[in-house]
Chain A
Amino acid sequence: MHIDWLAFTPGPSLLGGVLLGIATSAYVLLHGRILGISGIIGGLLRPVKQMWIWRIVLLLGILSSPLWAIFLLDMYPVQIIDAGWPAVILAGLLVGFGAQYGSGCTSGHGICGLSRLSPRSLIAIISFMFSGFVIVYVLRHLL
């Protein structure tokens, strides 16, 4: 194992993590729900009248966050997408299917699940980290 010290950003990552924790906590304290992004997106496919609007508003918050970052903090988020178009389509299908079938994603199982000390979420995290490691190993080192 070799750590890439130049890419490693413990400070900003810890700070960003704390913000994610605050958002997650605020959500469950104020609204009584798990802040799981895949669940909130999935809920749009089967709209329930009152819930549809708050799901949309929450997603609009995330969607518009880069604009606030640019205007308020002069921070332009760096996003480098190396994957080609076919890979992006396949990745979307797998992520959507997997999150629905496995009842959660990196936010619902990852952040909320660990914070609730949920054994189910721990198993989910181990599972998706494992297959993530395997796929990246195959793509970067075997092919």
Chain B
Amino acid sequence: MKKHFSLLSQYLIGVLFGFGLMISGMSNPQKILNFLDITGDWDPSLLFVMLGAVLVGLCGFYVVSKRSQSFFGGTLHLPAKKEITRPLVIGSLIFGAGWGLAGFCPGPAIVALGVGHLKALVFILGMLAGMEICERFFMSKAVQD
């Protein structure tokens, strides 16, 4: 019973996350690119998305920091790593280049796939290939989280 409830909550959290992306406008690649275009006609909306998300998130993570396990009784899996590493910076720079190229990041691409955009499917297949390439040929050198 608890397991089913846990799975249902996973699904609902996914739906809520998708709603957040759609209502905020962040599931629209054009809006992302208009945010990244600071020297052109700039759309600062993404800053407000971050403001809303982080204000709520700060509360959520504060409560978690006072607990030793999750509400479903599982152990907490939070990143413990503190060092600023070369893979962190290089990986994020590469991520940003891809993000600026098409205006897609992983969450919005899944929403776009749900809407039925073929380009989203191609993007996601490319993303899986990119992850696999990284995992196969680069991860042994990088220290994993």
Contact = CB atoms under 8 A, between A and B. Distances in A.
Interface residues on A, range: 35 or more
Contacts of A63: 14, 18, 110-111, 113-114
A92 B98 contact: yes
**At the interface, is chain B mostly helix, strand, loop or mixed?**
helix
Contacts of B74: 31-32
A10, A17, A30, A120 — which one has the most chain B CB atoms within 10 A of its CB?
A17
Interface of A: 1-4, 7-10, 12-35, 37-38, 41-42, 44-46, 53-54, 57-69, 75, 77-83, 85, 87-107, 109-112, 114-120, 123-125, 127-137, 139-141
A70 B141 CA distance: 46
Interface of B: 6-7, 9-31, 33-34, 36-46, 48-61, 63-64, 69-72, 74-79, 81-84, 87-115, 117, 119-120, 122-135, 138-139, 142, 144-145
A95 B105 contact: yes
A102 B9 contact: no
B50 to A, nearest CB: 6
